[in-house]
Structure 1
Amino acid sequence: MDLDLRKLRYFVAVAEELHFARAAERLHIAQPVLSRQIRSLEHDLGTELFDRDRRGTLLTPAGKQLLEDALPLLASVQALTRRVKTAARDTPELTIGFMPGITLTPATVAFTGRHPGVNVRLLRTSWDDQVEVLRDGRADVSVVRLPVDQEGLEAPPPSTPGRT
């Protein structure tokens, strides 16, 4: 069985909203279409992903597991697409992840001055994904706020304030 990424994106929207109408609005599709796609995904997987009743929509244990696994999978697909498009370009690209409140302008200006042929792209991250963007390939480097799980990453030692 091949897993349809579109259905997976639809599932994530419903799982995050826990409301079919809001998810359909977020996805810019009609709610009956979304419901049919979710039923089709449940059929493909052979299990119900949501408990639906008059009180609302909840994830089943299988739905919780799918959501946990789907988020990094979809991020990896997005990163794969970015890397393939970058490889097809004549201009190399560097994607820098950064946390809000971190100013990258001086470093970006210095880098582009030394490497004018590289297209620099900035990717805003959060506490939850500041390291994941490196692991799944959405960013080539990232400026993070410590502490982070550095397993599998190369990181320079923290700088001492006032020293460069």
Structure 2
Amino acid sequence: MDFAFLRRLAVMAVILAIQVLLLNNIHLFDCITPLLIGYMIIYTRRGASRIGVMLVGFFVGLLFDMFSNTLGMGAASCTLLAFVQPSLLGIFTPRDAADDFEPGMHTMGIWLYATYLFSSMLVLHAAFYILEAFSVSDWRMALMAIFGGTVLSTAIVFICESITSNQRGILNR
């Protein structure tokens, strides 16, 4: 077994636990709920197999659905994010970047990473909340949930990434 694989599996379990136990209970303005489950898909390296990324996205979403009782909305939205992720990463990274390039604040820079993160979270939240609403009758609430959840999730991931990158910098001194 590869140590990096086990580390990613442990991080995925922690993120799923945080999402299910903590973040699913946050409902700002009765509609804004952050979805942190997309982080494992967003952080996938550049040269990863597209099918592998989509399978990871599907299973992360399926696990989220099982614990959150969301009837496939998590699996569908995470699979869509996994499908779009290589294209988004290609937009925000240089063409000559290595195949094992991992997106992050320390590799992309703050502005590019924040833009990539926001775009990815927007895809995830738009898919999730459009499937949840499944109509245009309450489009204001759906738009508020999409953009509010995107901003909140982006802020949470950005803060966590800055803390972990600062700890990496301290440990490497």
TM-score range, shorter chain: under 0.3
Specify which structure has the bigger relative contact order, considering alpha-carbon pairs within 8 angstroms and separated by 6 or more residues: 2
- TM-score by length of structure 2 reads 0.24
Q: Rg larger in 1 or in 2? A: 1
Q: Which one has the bigger helix percentage?
A: 2
